[in-house]
Amino acid sequence: MSEPQSRVAVITGASSGIGAATAIHLSETGWRVVLGARREDRLQHIAQRIGASGGSAEWKLVDVTKRGDVRDLVELARERYGRLDAMVSNAGFASVAPLDALRIDDWERMVDVNIKGVLHGIAAALPLFRTQGHGHFVNIASTAGMKTVPNQAVYSGTKYAVRAISEGLRQEAGEHLRVTIISPGFVYTDFGVVPDDELRERLLAFRDQIAIPPESIARAIAYALNQPPEVDVGEIVIRPTAQA
């Protein structure tokens, strides 16, 4: 594998939160980044910030539920930089509500974004990684993929799926590809749809009390990516010290 300053990462969900923090942090350590998300103004702002700091960033509007969008994002990395070293599947969607609320549209979107989005990232990057003979998948799961709580059953189920798919990929990947699961706890980001006002207020108060910044997750991702080629960090669980 080449030196860090030449490496290239594709990041989905890169317009805010963990994705944006990861793009900025990796660029500061010499990575070239290719950013995908649905919000054009934020992607432009992040890419301009990276460029102004001497980094290199490309961006493209991407909806991870559309396999062609993710494929085109990986192709942009290949065309622009001639390689891809890391596929960071970060895009996610959460809806916090009891099953009795029957928010079926939200259920479907969580499956489409959180599970299919990761699968589309695998489908887009795996052939290129095989051709290159190296590559690293980083899939963002959650501590909700390790413990289910009321109001998060479907979200939690999608994150369990991300962990299972990622572990299966790791076992199939062979000696030249790496796979890392990142399971964050409560991070200071927008946490999705919470239709119940009282529940939303409680979650906001809890977030303000204990949540860790997205930059903490970015550093964990960088730690896994920057290991020697023969070292595969299988999973990092990173949560606030105060989170039970």
Active site residues: 155
Answer whether 138's CB lies under 8 Å from 89's CB: yes
What distances in angstroms separate CA 220 from CA 81, 138, 150, one per listed residue? 25, 11, 28
What distances in angstroms separate CA 122 from CA 82, 109, 142, 213, one per listed residue? 19, 19, 18, 27
3-class DSSP assignment, residue 82: coil
How far, in Å, CA of 178 to CA of 175, rounded? Answer: 8
3-state secondary structure 107-128: HHHHHHHHHHHHHHHHHHHHHH
Neighbours of 197 (CB within 10 A): 8
Answer whether 10's CB lies under 8 Å from 34's CB: yes
As given in the structure block, the two tokens for residue 196 are 């119940």
3-class DSSP assignment, residue 83: coil
How far, in Å, CA of 70 to CA of 121, rounded? Answer: 6
